[in-house]
C-alpha cells in the first residue's frame, strides 16, 4: 500500500527508521523463537544469586518500590519472609524493621529472577533454574507453594512458613537431585503440548503440571532415600494444578533476557507489577521501567469475597504474556475463560486474535489446535499497542488487599496504556524525532 502514498508523506528518514525498527524487531522475535529453555536444576537462592548472601535483601515482584508505597499483601509477604529468614522474631517486628529501612528491596527482574504475585525471593529459598541453551543465560524462580494460604498472595502465618521450610529442606533438595540425574526438562516442548491440552500457562497449568510430573517422577524415584518423603512430594506436585506456573515464568524470563538491548527494537522484554505500579521494559530502551498505576482485575471471586476485597494486579507472572501465553493464548484454554470471567468459552479465541494485532509475529512451535493451529501472538510491539489502542490482556490471580489473607479470585486485566505511550515517547526522543 505504501507505493500508493505520495512521496511527500513518507520522508526517506522515517522510511529508513521504520525499516530499521522492523529489522530490529525481526531479530528480537528470532531470538525469542530460537530460545531453548530447559529446566536444569534447583539451587539455593544465594548460590543462584550471590548478592543475596550479604545483607537483608528481599527481591519482590514488579518494578522498584519502597516500603511506604507497597500494597497490603506485599507488606504481608515481606513480614513473613523476614521471619522465615530469621531476621525478625515476629511479623510485627518485621514490619517495624521494614519501615525503619532495615531491609533492602529490589525487583526480581534485576537479578535474572521472577516471582508470582508478591514474588518473594530471599537467600535460603530453593530456586528452579531454567537455562536458555541457545544463548547460555539462566533464569530463576521459586517453587510454587500450591493454592490456599500462601506467601505469594500475602499469606504469612505458621502454615505458610512451615511449607516454605519443607520446600527448602525436602522438596528442593529432591528436585535438585532428580534434575541433576536427568538431561533436564525441555520446557518448550512441555508448553507446546500444554497448549493442545487446554493450558494457557498463567491461570491454567494443570496439563503442564502433569507433563512435568511425568518427566520428573522416574528421576525422583531413583534419587529418593525415603519413601514417605517421595510420596509427599509426588502428592504435592500432583495436587497442585498451578505447579508449572513458576517453571513457565522462569522460562519466560530465560527467553526474554537475550532479547534485551537490541538497538531500534520496540519489542517489550518484560511486563511486571508490584501491586502498586505496572512496569514494562522495551528492548532498545535498556533497563528503564516505564510505569503506571496498576489496574484492578475484572474477574470472579471465591465465595465470601467481592471486588471490595481485591488488591490491584500484582506479580512477575506477566512474563508469560510477554512470550505469548496467558491471556494471549486464551484460545487454547476455553476452560479458563469461565474461571477468569472472560465470557463464553467459545469466545476465548477472540482474545488470542486481538493480541495478534499488537504483536510482531506468531510462534509456529506453540500453536492452538482449536484455532486450526494458529501460533500464539509473539513479540509485543509498543508501536502496535499504541496504534491499535489495544493493551495486552493478562489472566491473573487476585489477592486480598489486606496482608495475611491470600487469594480471593481470578480475573483478567489490561496492562495500562500509559506504559506503552510513555515508552514510545522515550523511543522517539532517543531517535531525536
**356 makes contact with its own copies (CB under 8 A):** no
Query: Which residues, 170 to 209, sit near its own copies by CB under 8 A?
Result: 193, 196-199, 206-207
CB of residue 199 to its own copies, shortest distance in Å: 8
Closer by beta carbon to its own copies, 283 or else 395: 395
- Does 286 participate in binding its own copies (rule CB under 8 A)? no
Among 202, 219, 260, 400, indicate the residue that binds its own copies (CB under 8 A). 219
The SS3 call for residue 267 is strand
Closer of 221 and 428 to its own copies (Cβ): 221
Nearer to its own copies, 73 or 349 (CB): 349
422 in contact with its own copies (CB under 8 A): no
Alpha carbon of 26 to those of 176, 301, 328: distances in Å? Answer: 37, 41, 20
State in Å, rounded, how far the first CA of the chain is from the last one: 24
Enclosing H/E stretch for 201 = none
Q: How far is it, in rounded angstroms, from Cα 170 to Cα 166?
A: 5
In the set 192, 296, 371, 431, which binds its own copies (CB under 8 A)? 371
Which DSSP symbol is given to 88?
-
Report, in Å, the least distance between residue 207 CB and its own copies. Answer: 5
Residue 232 burial class via C-beta count within 10 angstroms: exposed 0-12, middle 13-18, buried 19 and up:
middle
Residue 346 binding its own copies, by CB under 8 A = yes
364 near its own copies, judged by CB under 8 A:
no
Q: How far is CA 302 from CA 64, 299, 305, 375, in A?
A: 30, 10, 6, 33
Cα 168 from Cα 171, distance rounded (Å): 7
Closest C-alpha among 186, 202, 190, 188 to residue 321: 202
Among 334, 392, 397, 406, binds its own copies (CB under 8 A): 334
Nearer to its own copies, 38 or 91 (CB): 38
39 forms beta bridges with: 130, 185
Q: Please, what is the minimum distance in Å from the beta carbon of residue 373 to its own copies?
A: 7
User: Using CA atoms, how far apart are residues 193 and 187, in angstroms rounded to an integer?
Assistant: 10
Ranges assigned E (strand) in 118-168: 126-132, 137-142
Place of cell 509456529: 364
Interaction between residue 215 and its own copies (CB under 8 A): yes
Residue 413: CB minimum distance to its own copies, A:
22
Closest CB to its own copies among residues 177, 421: 177
Of 344, 388, 428, 433, the residue at the interface with its own copies (CB under 8 A) is 344
Nearer to its own copies, 230 or 415 (CB): 230
CB nearer its own copies, residue 55 or residue 238: 238
Would you say 127 or 220 has its CB closer to its own copies? Answer: 220
Rounded to whole angstroms, the Cα distance separating 137 from 211 reads 24
The one-character DSSP state at 245 is H
Smallest Cα–Cα separation from 248: which of 181, 323, 177? 323
Strand, helix or coil for residue 39: strand
Least distance to its own copies from the beta carbon of 329, Å?
14
Q: Which of 338, 387, 389, 428 binds its own copies (CB under 8 A)?
A: 338
Q: Considering beta carbons, is residue 217 or 421 the nearer one to its own copies?
A: 217
User: Can you give the binding site for its own copies, defined by CB under 8 A?
Assistant: 193, 196-199, 206-207, 210-211, 213-215, 217-219, 221-222, 224, 227-228, 230-232, 234-235, 237-239, 334-335, 337-338, 344-346, 369-373
Amino acid at each position: 500500500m505504501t507505493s500508493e502514498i505520495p512521496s511527500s508523506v513518507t520522508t526517506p528518514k522515517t522510511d529508513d527508521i521504520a525499516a530499521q525498527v522492523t529489522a530490529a524487531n525481526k531479530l528480537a522475535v528470532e531470538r525469542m523463537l530460537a530460545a531453548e529453555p530447559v529446566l536444569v536444576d534447583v539451587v539455593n537462592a544465594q548460590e543462584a544469586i550471590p548478592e543475596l548472601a550479604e545483607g537483608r535483601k528481599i527481591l519482590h515482584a514488579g518494578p522498584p518500590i519502597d516500603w511506604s508505597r507497597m500494597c497490603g499483601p506485599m507488606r504481608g509477604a515481606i513480614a513473613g519472609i523476614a521471619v522465615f529468614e530469621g531476621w525478625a522474631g515476629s511479623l510485627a517486628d518485621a514490619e517495624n524493621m521494614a519501615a525503619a529501612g532495615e531491609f533492602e528491596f529490589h525487583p526480581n527482574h534485576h537479578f535474572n529472577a521472577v516471582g508470582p504475585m508478591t514474588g518473594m525471593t530471599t537467600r535460603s529459598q530453593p530456586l528452579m533454574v531454567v537455562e536458555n541453551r541457545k544463548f547460555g543465560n539462566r533464569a530463576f524462580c521459586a517453587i510454587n507453594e500450591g493454592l490456599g494460604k500462601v506467601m505469594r498472595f500475602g499469606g504469612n502465618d505458621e502454615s505458610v512458613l512451615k511449607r516454605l521450610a519443607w520446600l527448602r529442606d525436602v522438596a528442593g533438595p529432591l528436585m535438585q537431585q532428580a534434575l541433576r540425574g536427568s538431561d533436564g526438562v525441555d520446557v518448550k516442548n512441555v508448553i507446546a503440548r500444554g497448549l493442545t491440552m487446554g493450558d494457557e500457562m498463567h491461570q491454567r497449568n494443570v496439563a503442564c503440571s502433569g507433563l512435568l510430573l511425568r518427566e520428573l517422577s522416574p528421576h525422583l524415584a531413583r534419587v529418593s532415600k525415603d519413601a514417605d518423603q517421595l510420596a509427599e512430594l509426588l502428592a504435592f506436585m500432583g495436587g497442585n494444578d498451578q505447579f508449572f506456573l513458576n517453571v513457565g515464568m522462569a522460562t519466560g524470563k530465560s527467553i526474554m533476557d537475550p532479547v534485551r538491548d537490541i538497538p531500534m527494537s520496540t519489542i517489550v522484554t518484560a511486563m511486571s507489577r508490584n501491586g502498586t505500579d505496572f512496569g514494562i521494559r522495551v528492548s532498545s530502551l535498556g533497563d528503564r521501567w516505564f510505569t503506571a498505576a496498576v489496574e484492578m482485575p475484572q474477574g470472579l471471586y471465591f465465595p465470601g469475597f467481592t471486588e471490595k476485597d481485591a488488591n490491584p494486579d500484582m506479580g512477575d507472572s506477566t512474563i508469560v504474556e510477554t512470550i505469548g501465553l496467558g491471556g494471549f493464548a486464551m484460545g487454547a484454554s476455553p476452560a479458563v475463560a469461565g474461571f477468569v470471567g472472560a465470557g463464553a468459552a467459545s469466545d476465548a479465541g477472540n482474545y488470542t486474535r486481538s493480541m495478534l494485532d499488537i504483536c510482531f509475529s506468531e510462534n509456529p512451535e506453540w500453536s492452538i489446535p482449536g484455532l486450526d493451529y494458529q501460533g500464539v501472538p509473539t513479540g509485543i510491539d509498543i508501536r502496535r499497542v499504541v496504534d491499535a489502542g489495544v493493551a495486552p490482556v493478562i489472566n491473573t490471580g487476585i489477592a486480598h488487599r489486606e496482608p495475611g489473607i491470600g487469594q480471593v479470585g481470578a480475573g483478567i486485566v489490561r496492562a495500562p496504556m500509559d506504559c506503552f505511550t510513555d515508552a514510545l515517547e522515550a523511543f522517539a526522543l532517543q531517535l531525536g524525532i
